Amino acid sequence: MADNNIYGEFKTEIVKPENIEKRSFEIILEELNQMGIKLPEKEDKIIRRCIHTSADFDYAKTLRFSENAVDICKDLIKKGASIITDTNMAKAGINEKRLSNFGGKVYCFMADPAVAAEAKERGVTRATVSMEKASQLPGKKIFASGNAPTALIRLYEMYKEGIFIPDFIIGVPVGFVNVEAAKDIIMTTDIPYIINKGRKGGSNIAAAICNSLIYDIPVDN
Amino acid sequence: MADNNIYGEFKTEIVKPENIEKRSFEIILEELNQMGIKLPEKEDKIIRRCIHTSADFDYAKTLRFSENAVDICKDLIKKGASIITDTNMAKAGINEKRLSNFGGKVYCFMADPAVAAEAKERGVTRATVSMEKASQLPGKKIFASGNAPTALIRLYEMYKEGIFIPDFIIGVPVGFVNVEAAKDIIMTTDIPYIINKGRKGGSNIAAAICNSLIYDIPVDN
C-alpha cells in the first residue's frame, strides 16, 4: 500500500529511496505486458535498464544481441576486461568501482589533448583516433560507443584490415549522420555485439548497458 | 555534394568532423519541417540540441519554457552563475571550461560520502541532501536535474518553506516514480524553468540544455 505526499493538486507516491529503482523496473514490466511485449529472458534486464534510463519503450524493439552476447560480455567482465567509451559522460555513468572488483577499468581518450591534436592534423574525428589508441591497451577490451558513429566505423575498418579485433562492441551511438550505417556494418562482422538499431542511443544508454552487465555478476567477498 | 564511403552494401556520407554537428542540426530542421513543426525562435536551439542528443523528436512537443526562460538563464550564466547537477554524468557532459569563461562552475554532490551517509541516516535520497547542500553555495545557482525527481521535490519544498529560492531550474529527470508530478509542481512556482513534461529526460538532456545555453553566449577574448 503506497502512501502519498500531497503538494497542492499534485500527489507523489512515497517510495523508500532504496526501492525507487525496483519500483521503476516493475512499472516498466507492467507496461510492457500491457503492450503485449514479452522480453527474452537473458536480455530482459539490459532492455529494461535502457527503458529505465530513457523512459523510451522503443528500446524494447530496437536492441539487437548477437548470439549469446549477454553471456559473452559478462564472461569478459568477469575475466577483467576493460571498457572503452567514446564520451566522458558514458565513462562517468559506468560503475567503475564495481567493475574494478573483476580487474577492469573504464577508459575514454576523447579529452586527451594528443588525441585532439592528431585528429585535427589528420582531418578525422577524435573518436577515430581514440579507438586506435584504445586498440593498443593491454587485456580484453569491450568498446561502448554511445556517441560517435566514427568510433564504430574505425573499429570496423581495423577489423577488416586485420589490424585489430575488438572483443565486444556495445554500439549505441545516437544521431543523424552515418549512425544507422555504422551500427549495421558492425552487425555484418563476427564480433559479438549489443547494438541499438536505428538512430537512437546515447551515452546514457551505453552506460546503462554496461552497468546492467556489471550488476548482474555476483561479487565474491 | 556529399561523397560516400562504401562498406560492402552500406554507404556512409563523408562529412568533415567539424561539420557533423551542423549537418545533424540541418537534418533535424528538415525533418521537423516535414512534420509541419515550426519551433519557437528563442527556444529553437535548445529543442534541436535535445533532439540531437536523443534522436527523439518528442522533445519538440514536450519541452516547456517559463516566460523569457532562455534570456533569463543566459543572463545568469553571463553573470557567473554555477550549475548544480544531480548526476556525475550530467556534470561530465556540461562544457565547464566554456562556462568558466563567465565565472561559473559545475557542481554535483551525489558521490559525496557525507551526503550518502546523511541520506541513509535520514531515510531520504542522496539527491534530497545534495540539493540542501547546493542551496548553501555562494552566488547565483542554476539547478539541472536529469535524474532524480526527489531533487526537484526538495527544491520545491525549500521554496515553499521560504528557506531557499533557486535562481533557475532545468527540470528534466527521467523515469517512472514521481517524475511527472515533480516536474508539474515546479511549474506552479514563479521560479524560472525549462522543463520536459512527462517521463522523458535524462542526464544527457540536462547537459544538452546547459550546453546549448552556454554555447549561445559569445566569449570575449
Instruction: Read off the pLDDT of each residue in A169-191 and give the average, rounded to a whole number.
Output: 96
Top-confidence residue, A69 or A9: A69
CA distance A93 to A105: 13
Domain assignment present for residue B19? The answer is no
Residues of B in contact with A201 (CB under 8 A): 55
State pLDDT tens for residues A40-54: 999 999 999 999 999
Radius of gyration for chain B, computed over Cα atoms and rounded to the nearest angstrom: 19
Domain assignment present for residue B158? The answer is yes
Q: What is the DSSP letter of A66?
A: -
Q: What is the pLDDT of residue B220?
A: 76
CA distance A143 to A106: 10
Q: Is B15–A177 a contact, with Cβ atoms under 8 angstroms apart?
A: yes
The interface pTM score, or ipTM, of the predicted complex is 0.93
Domain assignment present for residue B51? The answer is no
Q: What is the pLDDT of residue B135?
A: 98
Q: Which residues of chain B have pLDDT under 50?
A: 1
**DSSP-based three-state secondary structure for B125:** coil
Give the phi and the psi of residue A7 in degrees, each rounded to 5. -120, 100
Q: What is the pLDDT of residue B221?
A: 57
The CATH number of the domain holding residue B199 is 3.40.50.10230
Domain assignment present for residue A41? The answer is no
Q: Is the pLDDT of residue A210 over 50?
A: yes
Q: What is the pLDDT of residue A1?
A: 38
**Look-up of cell digits 561530465:** B92
Hey, how many other C-beta atoms are within 10 angstroms of the C-beta on B22? Answer: 11
Domain assignment present for residue B80? The answer is yes
Q: Is B176–A52 a contact, with Cβ atoms under 8 angstroms apart?
A: yes
Report, as residue numbers or ranges, the catalytic residues of A. Answer: 52
Q: Is A174–B55 a contact, with Cβ atoms under 8 angstroms apart?
A: yes
Q: Is the pLDDT of residue A2 over 80?
A: no
Domain that holds residue A173: 62-215
Mean pLDDT of chain A: 95
Q: Is the pLDDT of residue A221 over 70?
A: no
CA distance A206 to B145: 20
Give the phi and the psi of residue B196 in degrees, each rounded to 5. -105, 110
Q: What is the pLDDT of residue B17?
A: 85
Number of compact structural domains in chain A? 1
Closest partner residue to A156 (CB to CB) among B7, B52, B204 is B7
Domain assignment present for residue B32? The answer is no
State pLDDT tens for residues A117-145: 999 999 999 999 999 999 999 999 999 99
Closest partner residue to A8 (CB to CB) among B174, B188, B199 is B188
DSSP string, A141-155: EEEEESS-HHHHHHH
Q: What is the pLDDT of residue A220?
A: 76
In this structure, are residues A161 and A136 in contact, taking their beta carbons and an 8 Å threshold? no
CA distance A35 to A184: 27
Q: What is the pLDDT of residue A163?
A: 96
Q: Is B125–A17 a contact, with Cβ atoms under 8 angstroms apart?
A: yes
Residues of A in contact with B30 (CB under 8 A): none
Domain assignment present for residue B38? The answer is no
CA distance B150 to B148: 5
Q: What is the DSSP letter of A201?
A: -
Residue A87, sorted as left (phi over 0), alpha (psi -120 to 50) or beta, turns out to be: beta
Q: Is the pLDDT of residue A205 over 70?
A: yes
Per the annotation, the verdict on B52 as an active-site residue is: yes
Domain assignment present for residue A43? The answer is no
DSSP E strand stretches across A112-212 = 141-145, 168-171, 193-196
